[in-house]
Each structure stands twice: as structure tokens, then as C-alpha cells.
Amino acid sequence: MSDFKIAQRETNNVNVLELKGYLDAHTAPKLEEAFQQLLKSDRTRIVVNCRDLSYISSAGLGVFMAFIEDVREKSGDIKLTNMSTKVYNVFDLLGFPLLYEIFKDESEAVKKFNDKK
Amino acid sequence: MRFRRLLYLSGSALSFLVVFIFDVIRKNVELDIGGLTLLRDLLAIGSFVLIYLYLDSRKVYASLTPSKRLGLVMIYAVITLLLSLAVYIVADDNFETKGFALRPITYGQLFLAGFLGIIYGVFAILVFRLVHGLIFFKRKRETERNFLIFVGLVLAAAVSTLTLEPLETSTLTAILVGFSVLFAVINSFRLPWIVYLTKREKIFGLIYGFILFIAFIGLNTMLNVESGVIKRSLLYYSYPLHRFVMLTTIFGNIYFGMAFISTLFHLPTAEAFDRKTSEVTSLHNLSRLVTQVFDFQELVETVTSLTLQVCEAKSCWLELIHEGDEEEHAKLIGEGTLVQNAGLRSYVVQLVARKNIAPDEIAELLSAGEKTLRDEVIENRKPVVIDDVARESRFKKKPKIKSHVGSIVVVPLVSHAGLIGVLYATKEMPYGFFKDDIDVLSAFADQATIAIENSRLIKKSIERERLLREMTLAQEIQRKLLPQSLPRYSTFDIDAVSTPAFEVGGDYYDVAELGGSLVGIVVGDVSGKGVSAAFYMSEVKGIFQSLSRLYTSPREFMIKANEALSRSIDKHSFVSLIYAVVDAESGELTLARAGHCPLLHLSGDAVTYLRPGGMGLGLTDGAAFQSSIEERVIRLQPGDVCVFYTDGVTEARRGDDEFGYDRLLQTVVAAKQRSASELKDEILRTVKLHAEKEENDDDLTVVVVKWLGESRA
Amino acid sequence: MKKQLKIDSKTDQLVAVREFISQAAFASGFSDEDVSKIALAVDEACTNVIKHAYRFQQDKKITITVRDDHGNFEISIVDNGKQFDPSMLQAPDMKEYLSTYRRGGLGVYLMKSLMDKVEYDIEPGKRNQVKLIKHIPR
């Protein structure tokens, strides 16, 4: 029923998570797990591609909140890309654009990671 | 007074009797002595004067309301009229004419004359008494004058007939009667009481007035029918009485005729007047209520029921509003409904009283519209009036409300501190609330606001009072927990002092004999202040009293005490203790310290602070505590001084300058020759001098031990 | 109009809740954007109940009632769990939020932002009711 999938790949030394479907309190643990895996193996240059993300509730937003600190401590970052207006509006309501870098396209985010270096 | 009344009554009865006897004699014997007849006529009048005086002294009619007076006059008039009609129908005229005089043919006629005389006389007096009250209602300056002139004229007209035979007439009497009627008309304009009748009373007044008008016409006719039995009986009995009664009926006729017409004109405004009266009464009640605010629920119930009265509403309810911030809202969760409005300030609303309306009806009413009535009032702080619910768009799809409610008024309760509540009133009919209703409701809301605010203040001060009492109790407990006196020993001096902070502190000291020559001395400090500190202190005392005898090693004691305290004390509190066991024979002192100030030890010229390690009690249980706690043993020499104290001593401050360890040390060194008691006083004095304040903001405890050795037997 | 949905206190029910609410809101004439806002707000309210009032106990019930009185669209969410935690009322300061790792409270803030009116009616230990209200556009 509840459709939420995460696809993971690596481009240019950046880990990309592609989210698909509905991210709510039921599916948020999946994302949490994915972040945990990345953190464990010190892969902290993370781009979350939201192109196919149709829905997000605060439970999903909470996952980003929970990991951003740890990721940044390890001098990494979580950058968000390809959001639909609907999903962006929710991020925007909570002031996330102040805390996270949000890009129109995945490539821009990947480039930003590699520029810094 | 009672005697006088009896005198009036019996005098009157006697006069009647004498008049009657005279009449009986006169019927049989021709008495032509003018003086005697005059005397009889005077007596007849006198008997009524006495009846008047009797009624006057009873004061029964003094406090009647206008409508009651009206009713009574009507009853009397109708009874008299019916009686007269009965007499008129049944009895024949049994008088024979002798010149201008009348002579009864039968004894029956003679009786009837006396009977009718009394009936009419009493009736006329009663009418005067009752109407007097109506005329004097809201009297003006000229009221009394006009009435007295009228009464004077009536009496003069009556008395002017005294010397006349029953069928004689005189011009003087006719003139006086004419003036009497004139003044009857003048006095008949005194009808102010009509305005003050309620609508219901006015309707009844109208009926009464009409009946009275008819009744007085009837009576008047009875008195004036030529050769009628009533007229002739009265004339025979007393000519002045006839004149008096006749003028009374004329007056009654005019007065109640005017009253009837005037009431008729006042009827349309009756309702408005009713409302004004109840408004005034309710407001008066409420302002009295401002001082009766001990029961909050009673207060708000009264506010709502008075609101119903003030504007004759069908239903009414009162909500308290707390605007405040999130923190205040959080405190009120469970007491009311938290409303978060986009674009408006959030508030918590409590429905505290309602009349004639169910909570779900209220909810339904207040769910209507993008902005509810409540939101509108809260935002604008001005009354909102819905004149016609059926035409109000927000209630378009609320058939249930439309069938119940025609018009609504919502009034804010605003105090100097802000909005504190909202008062609602509804009526079944549309346009039920007039402008003056809303004005009065607003004024009423102001009064209610003051009353509610006062009630809250009082509640607060009662709460404060309770806390204060609790504090005093805790202080008392604390005082009793400290030793009332210290034991005396031959080998050492010991003295102690503990001054609590302005409220309740957690300082504790105690001395216990542990068996053999061992003496345990403990000083401690419970974290925190107030009632909970006193509570923990009593627990520490219990632990000390029981464990110190079981474990004579201070370290072991501390470990066991920690176990006991960890179980009972809450996470955020802890207890610091310093505990020494002194052997009163050998002078050996064993010391353990749990997070407390070090022991000051002076021996000869050397002064040291002994600081065996140890954490405070109740912070951790078991191993961590055990490994932290140490024990130190010293042997006391004659002249040695040990000072146990709490941080109230070292932390006493003047500005930023704490008393500190050095000053304590210097004080003890300087006074080392003194006794334990003097040393303790000296420390206390120096600390107080340093802190310079009247009250300590921390408790302060000092226990001084001075070792004397075996020198003192 | 009045519709009711009763669900178990499980997160896998949230899809059904959103579906139910979306349909009702759409029928009442809301735009797509508003429909998704309302669905999100109700999702947040239910998530709060599951997480905080029932603490993930799955055998409890949540009753969701939708009412359309031709002016207001009103959703009431009722549970019989633990008392609503008032500390969640504080609007989150995102900077502070980060540093304190607090994870609740976002939903409460979202509900308030997404809807026209939110009413909390709490009878401690007995029944918690949250009403979410949005004006129906004319």
C-alpha cells in the first residue's frame, strides 16, 4: 500500500539517495536506516534527490533534522534537490531552506560538494 | 399604644351605642331640646373620628404598593356597593317627614340607619386612607398642601350641615361642596404611581380602575336617589356623614376615572419601564456582588443569571479567555479549549457558566462563519450584535440555530490587563436587543469583569496565605529536628548554633552517643530550600539516629546512609554530610565527608582543613559512592578545636566578597583560647558582621568541639 | 455532511487517513493545493496521537470525523490516550531545534500553519480532541 522507496547510488564521490513515493511516520524509519548506514561507513557527502517524492510529513522532516548535526560534524552535508513545489512548500513552512541547501537539480548539488574541495 | 387603640375602639363603640340609645328614646319621646340633638350629632361624628384614629394608629396601610391599594379600594367599594344594592332591593323606606326632619317609623329602620351609617362611614375613611398613599406616592412640595385643602373643604362641607335638618340645604354647604369637587379634580392629577407599575400590574390596574369607576358611580347614585332608603338612612343618622361619604364617592369617581385613562395611556410604554427597573435592580445586585467573590463558580452563575434578567434574554453563557503565550496555554491544557487561529493570537477558552443552553448548541453557534462571533469580539474588543440570525450569512446553513435563536449579543469582558472573557446572550425573536440593552450589557460586563478579577486576586492571596502557613509549619518541623540541648562531656566542650534562612533551609546537625565512649557528631546540608528540604532533613535525621548506632565507622555509616537516601530522594536533590566519631576517652576522632565543607582543625599553632574525599549522598548509588568515600583519623590534644559548619558560613557574602575559608580560619585562631560556646558565638558574630544583612539568604550552622583532655575530671 | 473513519493507532493507517480526508476535502470544493494541505495536517494530528498519546500501542483507536457545514470544513481527531503534551505548543525555533535534537512539535506547528484554526480540547486522561478547521472557499 504505502509506497516509499529509496535508491542509492554514488556519483563523483557523492552519495545520492533517490526518494520515491510517500514519506510519513510509517515510512520515515526506512530513511533513517539509510542515513544510519551512510553515517556508519563515514559517507557523509549526501545528496537527497526528491524528484519522485510525492509527499512528506513532519516525521520525514524529522529524519533530516536528526542526522544533519552528525553529518556536519564529520564535515559532510545533506543537500536536497529536485523537489516538487508541493514538497518544497512543506520544507519552506518550517524554515528548512535556512538550514539546508536546496538545489533545483542534483548535478548542482554534486558540483557544490566537489567545488568546495 | 395598645391601650390607646383600645380606648379609640371602645370610645367609638360607646358613642355608637349612646347615639343609638338616644335615637330609640327620640323615637318614642318628642325631644325638642336643640342642645341634646346637637350633642347626639357630634357624638355620631366623634365615633368616626375615633375609628379614623384607630386605623391610623394601626398603620396597616402604610407600606402597601400602589397596585395593592388599588385592589383593596376596589374590594371595599364592591362590597359596599353590593351591600347597598341588597339593602336597596330588600328594605323599604320607612321614614316619615316632619318638616325638614326625618323620623323612622319602625325600629328596623332605626337599626338600618345605624348599620348603614357605620358601613359607609368606615368605607369612606378606608378610601381616604388608601388614596392618601396613592396621592403621596413620589410626592412633590404642593402635594400635601393640595390634599390638606381638599380634606379641609370636605370636612368643612360636612360640618356645615351639622346644624341643618336632614332635608334642609344651605348655600354655604353648596359652595363648600363645589370647592371640594374642584380640589378633588386637582388632587386627581396625582397619579405618578402608574408609571411604576409593571406591565402586568398595569393591565390589572386598568381593570381595577374601570371597576372602581363604575362602583363609585353606583355608590354615588345610591347616596343621591331622592327618597331612597340609603340616602335617607344616612341623612337621618348624620347629615355631615352623608355629605362626607358623598364627597368621598365623588372624589373616588374622579380619581379612579383619571387613573383608568392614565393607565390606558401608559400601557404601551409599560414594557420599557419594566426593563429599566429590572436593569437597575440587576446592576445594583451585581455591584453588591463585587464584594462577594469567594466562590468563583457562584459568581459566574450569578453573572449569567443576572444577564438573563437585565435584557430578558432566553439564554446566556460566559466564557473566560486567556490570551497569554504558549507557556500559559500549556498550563491551562485540560481546563479549556486551546484555539489557534491563523492570523490571530491563540487563546484558551473556558466555558464557566451557561443558562438555558447546552454545550453542543454553543459549539454549533460558535463554529459558524470564517471568523466566529467569539473571534470577532476578541479581535475588536467591542460588542457584536446579530439582529436577525436568519438573515446572517454565517448561519445560513445552520437550521438548528435559526429555529432557536433570533438575535444574539456578544460582549467582551475587558480589564485593565486585557480581555478576560466573553459574555453571550440570545433571544428567540429577531431584533430582540435594543441599543440601550447593549449599553446596559456592556456596563454589566464591566461590573462582572471587576468581580471576576477580584475573585481571582482573592484566590491568589488565599493561595499565598496557604503557602506561608506551609512554610511556617516546615520551619517548625525543622526547628524540632535539631537537638534541643546538647549532652555534656568531661573531656570536651561542645556547642552548636543553627540559624535558618528567611524561609526554610536544609541545614542539619546532631549529636548521638553511640555506646561505650563513642560520640557521633554530624553536620549536613540538604540541597534546596523550603518544604521539600525540611522533608529530606527529617529523613536524614531518621537515618542518622538509626544507622549511627549500627555502624560506628563513619565511612561505613556514609555508605549505608547513601543507600538509604538514594532510594527515597529525588534525582535533583542530594545531601552533603560531614560526620565524625569522637572517642571521649582517648580523643581519637574519625572523620568522613560526603560532599560537605571540610573540617577546621586547630591544634596548637597549626590550623588545617581536613578534606577526606567523598561525594554527596543520594547522587549515585552503590559502587561509585563507595569508592569515593574516605576516612581520616586524628588524635585530639588538649586545647584542640574542631569546627563543623555548613556553606552558609563560608559563602556568606558582602557584595561579591564571600566570607571564605581564610576568614573563618583567622577568626578561630584569634579566639582559640575561648570556650567552645564563645568560639561559636564569635564565628557567628564575625560572619554576620561580614554579610552585613539582617537576614541570611542561606542557612548557617556551626558546631564547635574543644578538646579539654583528661584535665577536667 | 458528516463522515467518520475509525482507525487503529498504527502508522500504516496514515495512507488511508490521507485518502479519506483528501476525498472529503475535494468533495467540499477545495483546490488541489488546499486538499494536500488539509491531508498533511490531519496526518500530523494522527501521527502525534500514535506517537505521543498512545506511544505506539497498536491496539488503540483513533476516531476521525469530518464535517462540512457549508462554510467550514472541520476535522476532529479524537483519542483516549495519554494527555497531549503541552510543551509541543511552542513554535519551534529551528536553530535551537537543531542543537537540542528535539524531534516532536514540528507537527503541531505545521497543523497551525496549514489550517485556519486548530482547537485542542483535552480532558486529561480521558479524551483528547483536536479540531482542524479550514474555511471552504466560495
The verdict on a CB contact (< 8 Å) between C89 and B329 is yes
Q: Chains with ≥3 Cβ pairs under 8 A against B?
A: C
- The answer to the question of residue B396 being in a domain is yes
Query: Across residues B412-417, what is the average pLDDT?
Result: 90
pLDDT in tens, C46-96: 999 998 888 888 889 999 999 987 788 999 999 998 776 666 665 555 555
Task: Name the residue in chain B with its Cα closest to that of C111.
Answer: B340
Looking at the structure, do residues B451 and B486 belong to the same domain, yes or no? no
Q: Among the listed ranges B21-25, C2-6, C21-25, which one has the minimum average pLDDT value? A: B21-25
What domain count does chain A have? 1
Q: Assign B416 a pLDDT band (cuts: 50, 70, 90).
A: confident
The verdict on a CB contact (< 8 Å) between B340 and C117 is yes
- Which comes out higher in pLDDT, residue B158 or B102? B158
Q: Which residue has the cell 431584533?
A: B431
**Can you list the alpha helix ranges (DSSP code H) found in B418-569?**
435-481, 530-550, 554-568
Looking at the structure, do residues B55 and B77 belong to the same domain, yes or no? no
d(CA B454, CA C44): 41
Cα distance from B345 to chain C (closest Cα, Å)?
11
Query: Which of these, C18, C79, C77, lies nearest to C43 by C-alpha position?
Result: C18
d(CA B622, CA B102): 129
Query: Which of these, B443, B453, B383, B384, lies nearest to B415 by C-alpha position?
Result: B453
B in contact with A (at least 3 C-beta pairs within 8 A): no
- Predicted pLDDT of residue C98: 47
Looking at the structure, do residues B596 and B692 belong to the same domain, yes or no? yes
- The answer to the question of residue B216 being in a domain is yes
With 70 as the cut, is the pLDDT of residue B281 above it?
no
Burial of A85 (0-12, 13-18, 19+ CB in 10 A): exposed
Cα distance from C34 to chain B (closest Cα, Å)?
15
CB nearest A99 (choices: C33, C50, C98): C98
Burial of C34-58, coded b for 16+ CB within 10 Å and e otherwise, reads: bbbbbbbbbbbbbbbbbbbbbeeee
Domain extent at residue B363: 290-459
Looking at the structure, do residues B599 and B622 belong to the same domain, yes or no? yes
- Predicted pLDDT of residue B287: 63
Contact C41, C110 (CB under 8 A): yes
Query: Across residues B413-422, what is the average pLDDT?
Result: 90
Query: Which of these, B602, B591, B614, lies nearest to B520 by C-alpha position?
Result: B591
- Predicted pLDDT of residue B291: 60
β-strand partners of B562: none
The verdict on a CB contact (< 8 Å) between A99 and C109 is no
* Three-class DSSP category at B676: helix
The verdict on a CB contact (< 8 Å) between B329 and C86 is yes
- Predicted pLDDT of residue C100: 46
d(CA B336, CA B347): 10
**Chains A, C: CB contacts under 8 A, how many?**
70
Cα distance from C61 to chain B (closest Cα, Å)?
21
- Predicted pLDDT of residue C43: 95
Amino acid at B491: T
The verdict on a CB contact (< 8 Å) between C70 and B397 is yes
Looking at the structure, do residues B437 and B572 belong to the same domain, yes or no? no
d(CA C5, CA C36): 18
Domain extent at residue A40: 4-116
C in contact with A (at least 3 C-beta pairs within 8 A): yes
Contact B31, B37 (CB under 8 A): yes
Contact C64, C5 (CB under 8 A): yes
| Interface predicted TM-score (ipTM) over 0.85 | yes
Query: Which of these, B304, B297, B298, lies nearest to B426 by C-alpha position?
Result: B304
Q: List chain C residues with CB under 8 Å of B331.
A: 86
Extract the C-alpha cell encoding A56. 512528506
In order of A84, B53, B59, B122, B273, the CA distances from B6 in angstroms are 108, 11, 15, 17, 45
Please give the share of chain C, as a percent, with pLDDT higher than 90: 55
With 70 as the cut, is the pLDDT of residue B504 above it?
no
Query: Which of these, C83, C84, C82, C102, lies nearest to C92 by C-alpha position?
Result: C102
Break chain C into its structural domains and give their ranges. 2-135
- Which comes out higher in pLDDT, residue A103 or C98? A103
Query: Which of these, B15, B212, B31, lies nearest to B114 by C-alpha position?
Result: B15
Looking at the structure, do residues B392 and B489 belong to the same domain, yes or no? no
Amino acid at B625: F
DSSP conformation class of B326: H
B in contact with C (at least 3 C-beta pairs within 8 A): yes
Q: Look over chain C and give the mean of its residue pLDDT values, rounded to a whole number.
A: 85
CB nearest C94 (choices: A55, A66, A95): A95
d(CA B220, CA B243): 11
Element (H, E) at B121: helix B107-135
The verdict on a CB contact (< 8 Å) between C36 and A25 is no
d(CA B298, CA B293): 8
Q: List chain A residues with CB under 8 Å of C12.
A: 1-2, 26
pLDDT in tens, B104-137: 888 888 888 888 899 999 999 999 888 888 888 8
Query: Across residues B90-99, what is the average pLDDT?
Result: 78
Contacts 24+ apart (CB under 8 A), B271-280: B271/B199, B273/B195, B273/B196, B273/B198, B273/B199, B274/B198, B274/B199, B275/B311, B275/B312, B275/B437, B277/B196, B277/B198, B278/B309, B278/B310, B278/B312, B279/B310, B279/B311, B279/B440
Contact C73, C136 (CB under 8 A): yes
B492 conformational bin, left if phi > 0, alpha if psi -120 to 50, beta if neither: beta
**Chains B, C: CB contacts under 8 A, how many?**
66
* Three-class DSSP category at C93: coil
Q: Among the listed ranges B472-476, B543-547, B580-584, which one has the minimum average pLDDT value? A: B472-476
Q: Which site among C2, C44, C121 would you substitute to test the B interface, given the most B Cβ atoms closer than 10 Å to its Cβ?
A: C121
Strand order of the sheet with strand B631-635?
B507-515, B518-526, B575-583, B588-594, B631-635
d(CA B594, CA B281): 71
The domain defined by C2-135 carries CATH number 3.30.565.10: yes
Amino acid at A9: R
Looking at the structure, do residues B306 and B372 belong to the same domain, yes or no? yes
Contact B365, B402 (CB under 8 A): no
Q: List chain A residues with CB under 8 Å of C51.
A: 25
> Helix count (H) and strand count (E) of chain B?
22, 20
- Predicted pLDDT of residue B583: 92
In order of B123, B150, B164, B243, B333, the CA distances from B153 in angstroms are 19, 5, 18, 11, 80
Q: Assign B553 a pLDDT band (cuts: 50, 70, 90).
A: very high
Please give the share of chain B, as a percent, with pLDDT higher than 90: 26
- Predicted pLDDT of residue A29: 93
d(CA B560, CA B556): 6
pLDDT in tens, B145-203: 899 999 999 999 988 888 877 777 888 888 999 999 999 999 888 888 887 777 788 88
Cα distance from A16 to chain C (closest Cα, Å)?
23
With 50 as the cut, is the pLDDT of residue B713 above it?
no
pLDDT mean by block of 10 residues, chain A; 117 residues: 84 93 94 93 93 93 88 91 93 85 93 79
pLDDT in tens, B291-300: 666 778 888 8
What domain count does chain B have? 4
Q: Among the listed ranges A45-49, B325-329, B584-588, which one has the minimum average pLDDT value? A: B325-329
CATH number of the structural domain spanning residue A64: 3.30.750.24
Q: Which site among B338, B372, B378 would you substitute to test the C interface, given the most C Cβ atoms closer than 10 Å to its Cβ?
A: B338
Extract the C-alpha cell encoding B417. 490587563
Looking at the structure, do residues B70 and B44 belong to the same domain, yes or no? no
Task: Name the residue in chain A with its Cα closest to that of C13.
Answer: A26
Q: How many residues does chain A have?
A: 117
User: ∠ at Cα C51 (C50, C55), nearest 5°?
Assistant: 90
